[in-house]
Chains A and B, each alone.
Chain A
Amino acid sequence: GENVEQHPSTLSVQEGDSAVIKCTYSDSASNYFPWYKQELGKGPQLIIDIRSNVGEKKDQRIAVTLNKTAKHFSLHITETQPEDSAVYFCAPHASGGSYIPTFGRGTSLIVHP
């Protein structure tokens, strides 16, 4: 099965700084790479995703970059705001079968005002 690791597990930044979270995976068949944001007491919500034929995708202050050769993809948040504070999960999908995502253990992002 897929082995997924996220780093760092905790990230503390000042408001306005940038934050980067990295996700490494093991299954070279993975072709869909989403990032989820989970706020306290809520379910995960998709914030950005990238497919294997694209190297980078941007949506306002967030971006995702993919390095398929090295088997990792990263979440980038610029100009962080206190409302960005949450736990972020990567969940790469391997193609074939039931397409069940394997979630990383999460990164707790704390943005200090």
Chain B
Amino acid sequence: NAGVMQNPRHLVRRRGQEARLRCSPMKGHSHVYWYRQLPEEGLKFMVYLQKENIIDESGMPKERFSAEFPKEGPSILRIQQVVRGDSAAYFCASSPLAGAKNIQYFGAGTRLSVL
């Protein structure tokens, strides 16, 4: 059973370009979470999705950021018109069910660098 797969592992973009980060959850998992991590800091929650639904996007910046988890295919975190402050590691986690009693399994992350 493959773990959570994120790609690309490293992404370099120039200011103003778009960044697309992909996350394939573990087989059988229907809940996906996206987090952002700055150097020497903890993970900050961004968005929680189920298939075709955004459940909680309270951590997402209001502009330029969007996320989706279509019926088929991976979850996508999209950042439009990237700025240097978007440089960070972005992690995706999946779980089989919702709730405080369910473990989140993390991918290896995508490290975004904005030049």
Contact = CB atoms under 8 A, between A and B. Distances in A.
Contact of B98 (A41, A43, A98): A98
Interface residues on A, range: 20 to 34
Interface string B28-64: 0000010100001111110010000001101100000
Contacts of B35: 103
Contacts of B41: 105-106
Interface string A80-113: 0000000001010111011111111110000000
Contacts of A94: 100
Nearest to A94: B100
Contacts of B40: 105-106
Interface stretch (A13-21, A44-52, A54-62, A69-77): A44-52
Given A43-B107, A43-B109, A93-B100, A101 B45 contact: yes
Interface of A: 4, 31-32, 34, 36, 41-46, 49, 51, 89, 91, 93-95, 97-106
Interface of B: 4, 6, 33, 35, 40-45, 48, 55-56, 58-59, 91, 93, 98-109
